[in-house]
Structure 1
Amino acid sequence: MSELATPRFLDERVAHWAAVKPDAEAITYLSRTWTWSQLDDRIRRVAGALAARGVGRGDVVAFLDKNHPACVEVTLAAGSLGAATAIVNFRLAGDEIDYVLNDSGTKVLFVGSELLPAVTAIRDRLPGVTDVIEVAPEGDDEYEAMLAAATPVHRSADVDPGDTVVVMYSSGTTGRPKGVALSHANLIAHTVHAFGDWPFDEGDKNLVAMPLFHVGGTSYMQFGLHNGAPTYMTRDVDGAALAAGILAGASRTFLVPAVLAKVLQTGPDAVKLFGALKTFAYGASPMPLPLLREALVAWPDTDFIQVYGLTEVCGVATLLGPEDHRGDDEERLVSAGRPIPGVEVRIVDPESLQDVAAGTQGEIWFRTPQLMKGYLNKPEATAEAITADGWFRTGDIGRLDADGYLFVEDRIKDMIITGGENVYSIEVERILAEHPAVVEVAVFGVPDEKWGEAVKAVVALDGDGVTEAELIAWAREHLAAYKCPKTVDIMDALPRNPTGKILKKDLRQPHWEGRDRATV
């Protein structure tokens, strides 16, 4: 859509498509389909309902549910008022939901029917939340009643492209998650550049299956809206939902490698069905090289695109395109590709802060218009992550080859990526350390054939009698299931260096021996 001017606000393109093709399909979800004119009207009605509830520029609303088009409507509607939407991970435990809603300053909370009991249980701990509005998968709920009663409201005159429009919480290196504040300008820069050489063709349909609380869901959703392509949204990432989307005509998608592995394991019928995809973009966790080789053979007519990035840059920072996936240089298959337009990259010695030579490992730094405004309410953390001249310190270790291909090889931040979900070890350690029997604890990722990495804990205990199962159960009481350790080893004492720091690398090393961490 190069003839169109680059939008300044997220709701602009929806309004455009509502004007030029009002009756064309915009979003299909479960049993319902909305046209562009219907979607635009719904966004305007949500804006009116929020304005009537006192939501304005600088405020925050929140959405807590599995995938639902209402999340998109709320995000664009709140953004048109200058407000932000905190999209909350529906897998979080009650204590974590409590923290996110209070930290973000949520004023109005939209919550899925399945998750309403969890919110009810902590309602007295949410003094800033003035309204809780239920959203049901098939409609006929408080949300639809709110829309029916609302007076449509258009974008406020004082809204600026630099206003925060989305807040996504990532696990925090200090034991608490941090809210990543993304502006209209950030997300639009990402949409324009991330797949610039990948235009939607006539008849294409976008399959959005990744959770919207993840940039792989919300940022990816923007491509269909921006290009006027219909979107098929699934509520869950499961085989039946994905198959339904493809049977409904979906031709392009973004998923994590674990989903691809499941498809290949399901059998020839599933493999044949997924062959209808013209493009399969993947990221959020490493693609094991054997799995990628198998996928390239199974789907010879599908274009594969690997992306690497972070929530802080709206998702994609580097891209490995279809030509490299089918090329002769297999080493490039384990690279993260090259920077997309608008993204600068440096490899920096984390001690001297000087650039290193090509082929030498260092910390990956990015500078881009996609870079977040900062961590919500955390100026010190923001200053630690972003230099005075605008470079974002990713905390990832990598190298650039002579042709500018990025290889991501380790993580300074000690983050575990399991099935595309980011888990910071210190957050899990904080919970396990609260168990009365735990004296020492170290948490790290170990290889997992299905999820890429699995969370593992090693503990030293005060006395006997506490079992691995009890410690895992303790973690599950306080953390989302995907963050909890799958296994726990019990030792007499954890190894430490002369300064007293736990030698986590020594604990991790036997599990990773003989493996390239970037490709497991």
Structure 2
Amino acid sequence: MSEQRPWLAHYPAGVPAQIDMDEFAAITDVFDAALLKYRDKPAFTNMGKTISYADLDRLSRDFAGYLLGELKLKKGDRVAIMMPNCLQYPVAVFGVLRAGLTVVNTNPMYTARELKHQLIDSGATVLVVLDNFGPVAQEVLAQVPGVRAVTTGLGDMLGFPKSLIVNFVLKHVKKMVPDYDIPGAVRFRDTLTLGRMHQLPVVRNAAEDLAFLQYTGGTTGVSKGAMLTHRNLVANMQQAASWVGTNIRLGDELIVTALPLYHIFALTANCLTFMKFGAHNHLITNPRDMPGFVKELKSIPFTAITGVNTLFNGLLNTPGFADIDFSRLHLTLGGGMAVQRAVADKWKQVTGVTLAEAYGLTETSPAVCINPLDLREYNGSIGLPVPSTDVCIKDDDGNMLPTGEIGELCVKGPQVMKGYWQRPEETAKVIDADGWLHTGDVARMDEQGYFYIVDRKKDMILVSGFNVYPNEVEDVIAMMPGVLEVAAIGVPDDKSGEAVKVFVVKKDPALTADAIKAFCRDQLTGYKQPKFVEFRDELPKSNVGKILRKELRSPTPG
């Protein structure tokens, strides 16, 4: 057994090989247990307003009452939620789950085309949307009949008079809320008043009921809904909790949630796992405003923070960040994209806390591997498989490869999705006959069971028959003091088939392409060195700050 799972011998003290799958059947059971234990503790804070676990209980119950009592939704119906991090988000999500319904998380930055696809594909019958994104919703709902709208302003949950002030400033001063008109839309606050008048029936969620339809895969064509059951998410929450729980202070954690909760990483790690600990989630609505984010951090005695490499890099390069009091911080978790050594080293130097890299996918709810939290320093790996999880490396023919060999990382465990919503042929492409999920990531495992991502299969660059992994090139260039951000791609080349091209955002205005090439000559073998260097003011990024190499590969319009 241990020969096949060498990682078990290197688990941190107190972490079990298997999780208890019987403790909770559904997310709502975890929620109920947290309410019993932490009722009077703060649950979520946003824009200076805090709601307790008791408040979350009452408000989510009211929203569930509206969905079942007023809208007469039936078990399994889908409700789309299109909001950034704000207090309405957890209220809506727990309301939907308590009503026995399925959450369809929707990126607020979606274009009309993307939103229309998701609403039609999921069959959602309700859309909860923030006013800022009203015009897109208005356009789409006119084309998709049968979807009822619930609208809300960012300040709506902040209490009088702050709610009025915030909504006024956003609309009339900052001009962030355009005019729109959705016929028949109901305000979120009104749904709570209406829902309060209905007795909430006893709703039992079964382990195999769908909790979330989490859309993914826009990079490989049409976006697909990963079917995540209550069992999938409870399993992943138990896996993550057993991993980080050894140094958690129950009822006393304050976690900074800057990644959007509609993204699977923050949803499972911050919202669900930390709910089990009775933690206080501090929601950051706009982390792209780095000076504002740093100012907010200065006033929060936070103990944990999750993020992606670009977020940590942005904080480290924002004046005032180094002056924050990090004395209570004991957990920093990076995921969503590769953490660069230069960023991890600087994070440790500034905060005194190791930036532990984790790895996961939407299809795995998301955690697959996490580094031990007692690591002395960044080790370049994605960590060890979490409890009750098998990971292996396979070649293109589906054969398992031995230690040290490079191939596709494959995963098996209770957190692996049920499949893609109404797309059995797409499901069959990624989950093989033996139940292994093929991730599309190229990786290797060392003797101790640590896994190392080499790259995305489709991002690999082929130079004269040699594989070049963009991550490696990016890691090297990121070590240069004059570089703020970097991305590497392959471009067609007459001689070598493909050549390496890098896009760089400068920290030092004097940085030159020749200096970058000279640095790479010392660090990289010939075929890995960039042939082309292009400077940009910024790099294209996804909603969570992941650098989008595919957009760099597309020709620039005009």
Q: 1:488 to 1:369 in 2, by over 3 A?
A: closer
Q: 1:456 to 1:355 in 2, by over 3 A?
A: closer
Q: Which residue of 2 aligns with 1:43?
A: 60
Q: 1:70 to 1:387 in 2, by over 3 A?
A: same
Q: Which residue of 2 aligns with 1:294?
A: 346
Q: Which residue of 2 aligns with 1:10?
A: 27
Answering whether residue 503 of structure 2 is matched by residue 485 of structure 1, we say no
Q: Would you say the 8 A contact 1:14–1:36 is kept in 2? A: no
Q: Would you say the 8 A contact 1:80–1:154 is kept in 2? A: no
- Deviation string, structure 1 residues 95-149 (Cα, Å, up to 9, x no partner): 11111111111100000010011111222221231x1011211116810111022
Secondary structure at the residue paired with 2:454? Answer: strand
Structure 2 CA distance for aligned equivalents of residues 295 and 241 of structure 1: 16
Secondary structure at the residue paired with 2:447? Answer: coil
The one of 194, 201, 212 aligned to 1:166: 212
Q: Would you say the 8 A contact 1:26–1:231 is kept in 2? A: yes
Query: Which runs of structure 2 are paired with 1:101-180 in the superposition (5 Å)?
Result: 101-129=119-147, 131-139=148-156, 142-151=187-196, 154=200, 156-157=202-203, 159-172=205-218, 174-180=220-226
Structure 2 CA distance for aligned equivalents of residues 13 and 76 of structure 1: 11
- Deviation string, structure 1 residues 302-335 (Cα, Å, up to 9, x no partner): 2432101111111211111233343xxx7xx111
Query: Which runs of structure 2 are paired with 1:33-432 in the superposition (5 Å)?
Result: 33-51=50-68, 52-129=70-147, 131-139=148-156, 142-151=187-196, 154=200, 156-157=202-203, 159-172=205-218, 174-199=220-245, 200-202=248-250, 203-220=252-269, 221-238=271-288, 239=290, 240-241=292-293, 243-245=295-297, 247-267=299-319, 269-273=320-324, 275-276=326-327, 277-300=329-352, 302-326=353-377, 333-351=379-397, 353-414=398-459
1:457 is displaced (CA, Å) by 8.3
Q: Which residue of 1 aligns with 2:511?
A: none
Q: Give the counterpart letter for 1:305 in structure 2.
A: A
Structure 2 CA distance for aligned equivalents of residues 452 and 409 of structure 1: 17
Structure 2 CA distance for aligned equivalents of residues 286 and 155 of structure 1: 45
Structure 2 CA distance for aligned equivalents of residues 455 and 106 of structure 1: 37
Q: Would you say the 8 A contact 1:454–1:485 is kept in 2? A: no
Q: 1:174 to 1:248 in 2, by over 3 A?
A: closer
Deviates more, 1:11-20 or 1:370-379: 11-20
Structure 2 CA distance for aligned equivalents of residues 90 and 393 of structure 1: 29
Q: Give the counterpart letter for 2:371 in structure 1.
A: L
Deviates more, 1:77-86 or 1:241-250: 241-250
Structure 1 CA distance for aligned equivalents of residues 437 and 286 of structure 2: 32
Structure 1 CA distance for aligned equivalents of residues 391 and 333 of structure 2: 22
TM (norm. structure 1) is: 0.77
Deviates more, 1:445-454 or 1:71-80: 445-454
The one of 23, 32, 50 aligned to 2:40: 23
Q: Give the counterpart letter for 1:485 in structure 2.
A: E
Structure 2 CA distance for aligned equivalents of residues 415 and 78 of structure 1: 41
Q: Give the counterpart letter for 1:109 in structure 2.
A: L
Deviates more, 1:481-490 or 1:192-201: 481-490
Structure 2 CA distance for aligned equivalents of residues 117 and 455 of structure 1: 35
Task: Give structure 2 stretches of 5+ with no counterpart.
Answer: 1-18, 157-162, 164-185, 462-469, 479-483, 494-539
Q: 1:157 to 1:14 in 2, by over 3 A?
A: closer
Structure 1 CA distance for aligned equivalents of residues 33 and 111 of structure 2: 40
Q: 1:20 to 1:485 in 2, by over 3 A?
A: closer
Secondary structure at the residue paired with 1:334? Answer: coil
Structure 1 CA distance for aligned equivalents of residues 294 and 224 of structure 2: 31
Q: 1:158 to 1:22 in 2, by over 3 A?
A: closer
1:91 is displaced (CA, Å) by 1.7
Q: 1:66 to 1:451 in 2, by over 3 A?
A: farther
Q: How many residues align?
A: 436
Query: Which runs of structure 2 are paired with 1:395-474 in the superposition (5 Å)?
Result: 395-414=440-459, 447=474, 450=484, 453=487
Secondary structure at the residue paired with 1:308? Answer: strand
Q: 1:377 to 1:162 in 2, by over 3 A?
A: same
| Aligned-residue CA RMSD (Å) | 3.1
TM (norm. structure 2) is: 0.72
Q: 1:82 to 1:226 in 2, by over 3 A?
A: same
Secondary structure at the residue paired with 1:125? Answer: coil
Structure 2 CA distance for aligned equivalents of residues 255 and 197 of structure 1: 18
Task: Give structure 1 stretches of 5+ with no counterpart.
Answer: 417-443, 460-475, 491-520
Structure 2 CA distance for aligned equivalents of residues 362 and 4 of structure 1: 31
Q: 1:410 to 1:488 in 2, by over 3 A?
A: closer
- Identical amino acids, percent of aligned pairs: 23
Q: 1:38 to 1:142 in 2, by over 3 A?
A: same
1:188 is displaced (CA, Å) by 1.0
Q: Would you say the 8 A contact 2:256–2:283 is kept in 1? A: yes
Secondary structure at the residue paired with 2:357? Answer: strand
Q: 1:5 to 1:387 in 2, by over 3 A?
A: closer
Structure 1 CA distance for aligned equivalents of residues 416 and 281 of structure 2: 26
Q: Would you say the 8 A contact 1:458–1:489 is kept in 2? A: no
- Moved >6 Å (runs of 4+): 2-5, 454-459, 479-482
Structure 2 CA distance for aligned equivalents of residues 480 and 216 of structure 1: 10
Secondary structure at the residue paired with 1:33? Answer: strand
Q: 1:322 to 1:246 in 2, by over 3 A?
A: farther
Q: Would you say the 8 A contact 1:60–1:106 is kept in 2? A: yes
Q: 1:407 to 1:104 in 2, by over 3 A?
A: same
Deviates more, 1:104-113 or 1:167-176: 167-176
Q: 1:242 to 1:55 in 2, by over 3 A?
A: farther
1:234 is displaced (CA, Å) by 1.4
Structure 2 CA distance for aligned equivalents of residues 306 and 234 of structure 1: 21
Structure 2 CA distance for aligned equivalents of residues 409 and 4 of structure 1: 32
Q: Would you say the 8 A contact 2:260–2:544 is kept in 1? A: no
- Deviation string, structure 1 residues 335-377 (Cα, Å, up to 9, x no partner): 11110111101111122x1111110011111001011111111
Structure 2 CA distance for aligned equivalents of residues 321 and 48 of structure 1: 42
- Deviation string, structure 1 residues 13-40 (Cα, Å, up to 9, x no partner): 3333333443221111113211111111
Structure 1 CA distance for aligned equivalents of residues 62 and 193 of structure 2: 8
Q: Give the counterpart letter for 2:355 in structure 1.
A: F
Secondary structure at the residue paired with 1:118? Answer: helix
